[in-house]
Amino acid sequence: MIVLGRLIVGLGMLVLGRQLFWLFVGGVGFVFGIQLATQVLGEGQPDVNILLFALVFGFIGAVVALALQKLAVSAAGFFGGGVIAMNLVQVMNLDLGSVLVPFLVGGVLGLILVSILFDWALIAISSFAGATVIVQSFVMETAVSLLLLVILIAVGIAVQANQLRREGKKG
């Protein structure tokens, strides 16, 4: 059940993250909620408890995104960058002892990207975040995970860049 939720959220973030930024922010909250619930509630919890915890974070993220767009996008850049960094550490099988350092470094980089290059930052961060969420949903060898990650990121950026280009032609 959690895997299906992660796949749906990851796919939405991958191809619609810039266009539906509230979905991206809510998706980041959902994934953050899963990871936080696993650490706070413990590994042995039923999927329903973890999903409810994650849905609450996702819902809060989506509501904040709709109400406070600029702040929400900045927060999504920070948390999205943090989630990407944490997931990359896991995909690459690096044991740093704590996920806090990669989360903070990725978060600061995500925040900076969103501030400077808003549309392209949302495209890049939502593509990276969606791809990492999808890849983390499966158990694969490191090389396969990295290859799939690169392919999904490229697909997400291409799809969203095409959407941005089409919107530019309309305006």
Please report the pLDDT score of residue 155 as a whole number. Answer: 96
What are 76's two structure tokens? 């999504």
Calpha distance 166→162 (Å, rounded): 6
Which residue in the block uniquely carries the two structure tokens 């936080």? 36
Closest alpha carbon to 87 in 10, 171, 2, 1? 10
Count CB atoms within 10 A of the CB of residue 35: 21
Q: What is the pLDDT of residues 130-147, one digit of tens each?
A: 898 899 888 889 899 999
* Predicted TM-score of the model (pTM): 0.66
Show the tokens assigned to 128. Answer: 């990276």
CA-nearest of 57, 72, 66, 55 to 122 is 72
> What average pLDDT does the segment 114-127 reach?
83
Over the stretch 70-107, which tens digit does the pLDDT of each residue have? 777 788 789 889 988 988 888 888 888 777 889 999 99
